[in-house]
Amino acid sequence: MGDELGLLLSKLTTSDHASVTSISLFVALLCGCILVGHLLEEYRWMNESITALIIGVVTGVLILLISRGKSSHLLMFSEDLFFIYLLPPIIFNAGFQVKKKQFFRNFITIMLFGAVGTLICFVIISFGAMQAFRKLDIGIGSFDIGDYLAIGAIFAATDSVCTLQVLNQDETPLLYSLVFGEGVVNDATSVVLFNAIQNFDLTKIDARIALKFFGNFLQLFLTSTLLGVLVGLLSAYIIKRLYIGRHSTDREVAVMMLMAYLSYMLAELFYLSGILTVFFCGIVMSHYTWHNVTESSRVTTKHAFATLSFVAEIFIFLYVGMDALDIEKWRFVSDRPGTSVAISSILLGLVMVGRAAFVFPLSILSNLSTKSPNEIIHFRQQVIIWWAGLMRGAVSMALAYNQFTWKGHSESQGEAIMITSTITVVLVSTMVFGLMTKPLIRLLLPMPRHISSNASSDQNTPKSATVPLLGSGQDSDCGNFGNFSSEPIPPATQLRLLLTIPTHTVHHCWRKFDDTFMRPVFGGRGFVPSVPRSPPDENAPYLQ
Amino acid sequence: MGDELGLLLSKLTTSDHASVTSISLFVALLCGCILVGHLLEEYRWMNESITALIIGVVTGVLILLISRGKSSHLLMFSEDLFFIYLLPPIIFNAGFQVKKKQFFRNFITIMLFGAVGTLICFVIISFGAMQAFRKLDIGIGSFDIGDYLAIGAIFAATDSVCTLQVLNQDETPLLYSLVFGEGVVNDATSVVLFNAIQNFDLTKIDARIALKFFGNFLQLFLTSTLLGVLVGLLSAYIIKRLYIGRHSTDREVAVMMLMAYLSYMLAELFYLSGILTVFFCGIVMSHYTWHNVTESSRVTTKHAFATLSFVAEIFIFLYVGMDALDIEKWRFVSDRPGTSVAISSILLGLVMVGRAAFVFPLSILSNLSTKSPNEIIHFRQQVIIWWAGLMRGAVSMALAYNQFTWKGHSESQGEAIMITSTITVVLVSTMVFGLMTKPLIRLLLPMPRHISSNASSDQNTPKSATVPLLGSGQDSDCGNFGNFSSEPIPPATQLRLLLTIPTHTVHHCWRKFDDTFMRPVFGGRGFVPSVPRSPPDENAPYLQ
């Protein structure tokens, strides 16, 4: 196994000058994307992802012109580069920066959208594609059921980055946490689904296999989460116990960074979902570990993780943009342009229908079970949630490459068409839908500040950032229903109570448990280091 | 060229599970090194590098045992992994954190040690090795003059990390800045030398070629420095002009990080010395750019760069430790253990002699030209400087692999012996000499706090970190010799004055120039952003 790393490390480095040229060009383009993105910040249609995508496509065209069409592989999309190096920092940062209170308050709704919704979407796209492709006789009849299910998983993976860049966590906390939480759970669900499809023999599906499939899926979900929580707690314990910041703040930052990455790699090692693991590791680290480190480590980790995630995101969009022009694949399908357009259109349509099919029903279900008026998902918000999940991004690309290429090359025309169709769907949905996101949200939420003060209580406004996570005035015993037990219960709200009380009870139990058992061991908010806050760090001398 | 990056990127990722295992193992080992290093912090013999080296060797032995001696390539040392990914953050951070005042005050001495000294050392080792190997008839007579000169360059590259971890920048500022500055200039000199040797036809050396060689060397030095300064200034200008922190502090950090890396890659692209470029880029960024960004970006960059450098350093030592057990090369030389031991001993001896041959004479020369008593290098300090440069590290390894292997494999026994000898020298010098560094410094500088208050003026103590770089009370005109002109000059100090006055004049001119032309354009200390210091950053929501 050491041998493998050696090979890997030696492979990732080629001495020739060309790779230096490529890296320089790529880094320069990344800088360019950030600067252009900054300049276009005020412009109502643009955001960083679309900028990077456009710059990527333009650079691809330029390279194609300079090389006079010779370079057929401008950039080979590598799913492992994506899954091993780029995705972990993005997902970890998502967990690290998420507003935990909002996230867990809406946990059930998020799981409804992210897991159940993704399954519905997956089923609709799979069977829709199967019916449509067969009926239209597009000529990729060699596809078996496994391929169609894979298509379902590929196009069930949303990319809500564009929407999240526009939504404001403080102004519309409910909407933000739903879109955001669904995005993460959706990523995990579709990757887990995709892997399950590849591992199961799907030629003969019966109830037993479907049940086993579902059990497998559930087990993966739970063990992945548990692993993330465990690694996060371990990091909190180590840093609290050893008090590493005493000697060097850099060591704390390094330990946090390495353990976060380790959690992802361990999950991959045990064939779990690295995305879920690293997401929950991020949540636990922000709840415990982050409060155990020195003040400067806190500032550093908060911004360093956000920066890494930011750069990785731009990298992906730039990369997808440049990869869109892999002319080898386009040549493969150039004699049948109609087919490619038809398939792309069908898939885009299925994506829109598949998403509508679960967002609106599940929202209504969620509203039925909600007690407080500020947790109601209004119709306009439902439209935004629907819209937010229409974009397809790098996860879809990576899965498509995994399914339809062999070592970077498509073997049959059908596979080549699926790759070019995926690229088309990603480009069209990100550019066209993405460009319309900002105006659409402005239209649907015309006065965000006003809406937010209606739609959310004070606890959800920015102030909550400074309010302790434990809340206040709700110190009732675990198991006691607190405020609810003293109120007369109108019959109409009994269904709601049945569904809301457990959530609140769980929250209370968690608070008690956290205070009594977790914090003394793992630290967390309010943990005061025994030495001054900013110890003189010998290894990091001050800048002069 | 895009093609190349694609290939590179696809190469750096193999889908198989083995690479996931290796990465997990490696990340876990990195964590382990940091934690063990933390626990051994108080222990007088140890430091992080030696810990990593030992853990690397132990892991190597374990893997060898587990694979039952099968895995001949535990880890192939990849010079490009080292030069493209690990070295840039280390050298950039060195420039970023260096105390510029001390560095430029001792600039001439540092250049004496780093450039002239390294050349002396290179000549002694080259010719010493040539004489010794031929006289002892060790049987690697197939080596030509180019190989011997390469050996000189390989073993002229010092690794002063061990010493710098022990020295304190605040307690012994002169010593620290000399050892530190020499280390960086030495790295650059030996790499430039090595490349020059490979590019020149050295079979027929005459005065003309030697002169051309020297001219080439000087030109490389100057253009590399200039490129670093230019990229640094560009980053300062962009960030000051666009005021990127207005929207997002992460964008500032990303731009600084990417532009620093870009400077290194551009230098490599133009066949310059990336080490020098990124070092001066770091200096310029800490002088201008760092003062133009928001408060949180300052804390983040300071610690994030230090952390990256710290992790890269440990990575290298761990890697070298694991690579030491590449049994393929050891098998190659196993029938002649005597030769390998003899060569290693000769090289270690030459390293010690070669270093002594320039440290003591150049120190005396430097003392002759020094005016102030706190800039005199005492004999004990000379011994420490000599000692600090005895360790050999990853640069030597990388250069040796470049010269004596072809795609990771040695072709002849002579080459294999050179590789194993280099590994032996690196291990012995780092472990044996490294372990003795802390006790030696304690012995030679028994009361560092006392020594420092004798040996340095108040301006050199930690307070200088808060004193503006411009100093105070020395506002005399550029071209006027200031304090000196009003004093009577004793004849004995005329030589000193001849050498010191230009330095001080240069410093004055620089201050004037910096104030009048540079700061208005590029910002720097005292540049006050026009909006509040910590703007609310929408993209990096607060942790709850």
ipTM of the complex: 0.79
- CB of A386 less than 8 A from some CB of B: no
Confidence of residue A469 (pLDDT cuts 50, 70, 90): very low
Q: Quick check: B34 and A258 CB within 8 A? A: yes
Q: What is the mean pLDDT of residues A186-197?
A: 83
Distance of residue A377 Cα from the nearest chain B Cα, in angstroms: 23
Burial of B525 (0-12, 13-18, 19+ CB in 10 A): middle
Confidence of residue B38 (pLDDT cuts 50, 70, 90): confident
Give the model's pLDDT for residue B478: 37
Confidence of residue B60 (pLDDT cuts 50, 70, 90): confident
**Given a cut of 70, is residue B262 above it in pLDDT?**
yes
Q: Across the interface, which of B20, B73, B100 has its CB nearest the CB of A3?
A: B73
What percent of chain A shows pLDDT beyond 70?
74
A189 Cβ partners below 8 Å, 6+ apart? A114, A115, A118, A119, A156
Nearest residue on chain A to B173, judged by CA atoms? A541
Q: What is the mean pLDDT of residues B270-288?
A: 90
**Given a cut of 70, is residue B471 above it in pLDDT?**
no
Instruction: Give the least confident one: A100-114, A200-214, A466-480, B343-357.
Output: A466-480
Nearest residue on chain A to B97, judged by CA atoms? A543
Q: What is the mean pLDDT of residues B241-248?
A: 72
**Given a cut of 60, is residue B447 above it in pLDDT?**
no
- For B295, the 3-state DSSP assignment is helix
Higher pLDDT, residue A493 or B1: A493
Two tokens, residue B212: 């051309």
Give the model's pLDDT for residue B351: 93
Which candidate in A13, A74, A309 is best for mutational testing of the B interface (most B CBs within 10 A)?
A13
Give the model's pLDDT for residue B189: 85
Give the model's pLDDT for residue A155: 93
In chain A, residues with a C-beta closer than 8 Å to the C-beta of B99 are 541, 544
Question: Residues of A numbered 522-541 whose beta carbons fall under 8 angstroms of chain B's beta carbons: which are they?
Answer: 538-541
**Given a cut of 70, is residue B542 above it in pLDDT?**
no
Q: Measuring CA to CA, how many Å separate A377 from each of A440, B113, B192?
A: 17, 71, 65
Instruction: Give the least confident one: A396-400, B133-137, B375-379, B478-482.
Output: B478-482
Q: What angle do CA B365, B367, B370 make, to 5 degrees?
A: 115
Highest mean pLDDT among A345-354, A497-506, B89-98: A345-354
CA distance A74 to B177: 46
B516 Cβ partners below 8 Å, 6+ apart? none
CB atoms within 10 A of CB B196: 18
Give the model's pLDDT for residue A201: 66
Give the model's pLDDT for residue B450: 41
In chain B, residues with a C-beta closer than 8 Å to the C-beta of A99 are 541, 544
Q: Does an H or E element contain A530, and which?
A: none
Report how far apart the first and last C-alpha atoms of chain A are (Å, whole number): 45
CA distance B402 to B81: 12
Give the model's pLDDT for residue A236: 92
Higher pLDDT, residue B491 or A238: A238
Q: What angle do CA B47, B48, B54 make, to 5 degrees?
A: 95
Give the model's pLDDT for residue B357: 92
**Given a cut of 50, is residue B429 above it in pLDDT?**
yes
- CB of A357 less than 8 A from some CB of B: no
Give the model's pLDDT for residue B25: 86
In chain A, residues with a C-beta closer than 8 Å to the C-beta of B18 are 1, 4
Distance of residue B313 Cα from the nearest chain A Cα, in angstroms: 12
Q: What is the mean pLDDT of residues A115-130?
A: 91
Question: Residues of A numbered 52-71 whose beta carbons fall under 8 angstroms of chain B's beta carbons: which are they?
Answer: 59-60, 63, 67, 71
Q: Across the interface, which of B22, B34, B543 has its CB nearest the CB of A254?
A: B34
CA distance B302 to B446: 31
